[in-house]
Chains A and B, each alone.
Chain A
Amino acid sequence: MKSGTRPSLVRRFWPLVALCLVVTAIVALGSLGNDELQVTITEMMIRLVVVVGIYLFIGNSGILSFGHIGFMCIGAYAAAWATVDPTWKQMMLTGLPDFLQNNQYGFLPAVAGGGLLAAFVALLLGSAIMRLSGIAGSIATFAFLAIVQSVYSNWESVTAATSSIIGVPTVVGPWVAWLFAIGALVLAYVFQISRFGLMLRASRDDEVAAKSSAVGIVKVRLIAFVVSAFIVGVAGALYAHFLGILTADTFYLSLTFVTLAMLVVGGVGSLTGAVTGVIVVTVVVEVLRHMEAGVAVGATNLHLPQGSQEIGLGIIMALVMIFRPSGLARGREVPWPFTPAARRAKVPAV
Chain B
Amino acid sequence: MIGLLQNLVDAANLGSLYALAALGVGLLFGILRLVNFAHGDFISIGAYALIVPSFEVTAQLFIGEWNWALMIPTVTLIVVIVALISDALVFQPLRRASAPTLMIASFAVSYVIQNGILMIYGARPKAANLWSGLDTPILLGELRVPLLQIITIGVTLALMVALTLFLKQTRYGVMMRAAAEDFRMAQYLGVNGNFVIGLAFAISGILATAVSLLYLSQTGTLAPTMGVPLALFAFVATVIGGMGSLLGAVVGGFLVGFIVIMLQAYLPEDLRPFRDAFAFTFVILILLVRPSGIVPTRAFIERV
Establish whether residues A310 and B274, one from each chain, have CB atoms under 8 Å apart when the complex forms: no
A30 is an interface residue with CB less than 8 A from chain B: no
Are A139 and B239 in contact, CB atoms less than 8 angstroms apart? yes
Identify which of A130-138, A183-191, A279-287 touches chain B.
Answer: A130-138
Whole-angstrom CA separation of A31 from B164 in the bound complex: 64
Chain B 87-137 interface residues, beta-carbon cutoff 8 Å to A: 89-90, 93-94, 97, 99-101, 103-105, 107-109, 111-112, 114-116, 118-119
Given contacts A64-B104, A133-B302, A143-B236, contact A318 B109 (CB under 8 A): yes
**Could you tell me the distance between the alpha carbons of A258 and B100 in the complex, rounded to whole angstroms?**
16
Collect the chain A residues with CB atoms within 8 Å of residue B35's CB: 135, 138-139
Q: Mark A130-174, 1 if CB is under 8 A from B, else 0.
A: 001111101110111011001100110000000000000000000
Q: How far is the CA of A128 from the CA of B302 in the complex (A)?
A: 19
Task: Tell me which of B2-10, B74-82, B138-146, B278-286 binds A.
Answer: B278-286
Residues of chain A lying within 8 A (CB to CB) of residue B287 = 129, 132, 136, 139-140, 143
A132 touches B291 (CB 8 A): yes
User: Does any Cβ of B come within 8 Å of A22's Cβ?
Assistant: no
A216-224, A240-248, A300-308: which lies at the B interface? A300-308
> Looking at the complex, which one of A139, A154, A253, A305 makes contact with B119 (CB distance below 8 Å)?
A305
The answer to whether A106 has its CB under 8 Å from any CB of chain B is: no
Complex CA distance for A340 and B283, rounded to whole angstroms:
55
List 19 contacting pairs A-B, 8 Å CB cutoff, sorted by A: A128-B284, A132-B291, A139-B35, A139-B239, A146-B232, A146-B277, A150-B277, A154-B273, A155-B273, A208-B304, A253-B111, A306-B119, A308-B119, A310-B112, A311-B119, A314-B108, A314-B111, A318-B90, A321-B94
Indicate if A264 sits at the interface (CB-CB under 8 A).
yes
Q: Which of A144, A305, A317 contacts B108 (CB 8 A)?
A: A317
Which residues of A36-73 have CB atoms within 8 Å of chain B's CB atoms?
63-64
A64 touches B103 (CB 8 A): yes
On chain B, the residues within 8 Å of A314 by CB distance are 108-109, 111-112, 115
How many of chain A's residues touch chain B, expressed as a range? 35 or more
B274, A150: Cβ atoms under 8 Å? yes
Query: Does A307 contact B94, Cβ atoms closer than 8 Å?
Result: no
In the assembly, what is the distance between CA of A231 and CA of B119, in Å? 35
Instruction: Evaluate contact between B105 and A151: CB separation under 8 angstroms.
Output: no
Judge if B235 is at the interface, Cβ distance under 8 Å.
yes
Chain A residues, Cβ within 8 Å of B288: 128-129, 132
CB-CB under 8 A for A321 and B302, given A144-B284, A146-B276, A310-B111: no
Known: A143-B236, A143-B284, A307-B119. A318 touches B276 (CB 8 A): no
In the complex, what residues of A have CB within 8 A of residue B101's CB? 321, 325
A214 contacts B by Cβ under 8 Å: no
**Any chain A CB within 8 A of the CB of B14?**
no
Q: What B residues does A128 contact at CB under 8 A?
A: 284, 288
- Give the CA-CA distance A134 to B280 in the complex, in Å: 18
| Distance (whole angstroms) from the CB of B199 to the closest CB of chain A | 22
B31 interface contact, C-beta 8 A:
no
Verify if A120 is at the interface (C-beta below 8 Å from B).
no
User: A311 with B116: in contact, given A134-B99, A253-B228, A322-B94 (CB under 8 Å)?
Assistant: yes
Main secondary structure of the interface of B (DSSP, over half): helix
A307-B118 in contact (CB<8A): yes
Pair B112/A142 contact, Cβ less than 8 Å? no
A142: which B residues are within 8 A, CB to CB?
Answer: 232, 235
Q: Which 5 A-B pairs have the closest CB atoms?
A: A307-B119, A314-B112, A154-B273, A310-B115, A64-B100
Whether a CB of chain A sits under 8 angstroms from the CB of B243 is yes
**Chain A residues closer than 8 Å to B281, beta-carbon distance:** 143, 147
Residue A13 is within 8 A (CB to CB) of chain B in the complex: no
**A318-B90, A318-B105 given. 6 additional CB < 8 A pairs?**
A129-B284, A135-B103, A139-B283, A146-B232, A146-B277, A318-B89
Residue of B nearest to A306 (CB): B119
Question: Could you tell me if A139 and B291 are in contact, using CB atoms closer than 8 angstroms?
Answer: no
Are B274 and A257 closer than 8 Å at their CB atoms? no
With a CB–CB cut-off of 8 A, which chain A residues contact B239?
A: 136, 139
Q: Which of B273, B274, B280 has the most chain A CB atoms inside 10 A of its CB?
A: B280
Is B105 within 8 A of A321, CB to CB?
A: yes
Q: Complex formed: what's the CA distance from A132 to B93 in Å?
A: 28
- Please name all residues of chain A whose beta carbon is closer than 8 Å to the beta carbon of B90 when the two chains form the complex: 318, 322
For A264, the closest partner residue in chain B by CB is B104
A142 to B90, CA, bound (A): 22
Closest to A322 in B: B93
Distance in Å: Cβ of B274 to nearest Cβ of chain A? 6
**A136-B277 contact given A307-B119, A308-B119, CB 8 Å threshold:** no
Cross-interface CB contact of A311 among B115, B280, B284, cutoff 8 Å:
B115
Please name all residues of chain B whose beta carbon is closer than 8 Å to the beta carbon of A317 when the two chains form the complex. 104, 108
Q: Interface code A290-322, partner B: CB below 8 Å = 1, 0 otherwise?
A: 000000000000000111101101110110011
Considering the chains assembled together, what is the distance between the CA atoms of A140 and B291 in angstroms?
A: 10
Q: How far is the CA of A115 from the CA of B33 in the complex (A)?
A: 35
Query: A260 at interface (Cβ–Cβ under 8 A)?
Result: yes
Q: A307-B118, A322-B93, A322-B94 in contact; A143/B291 too (CB < 8 A)? A: no
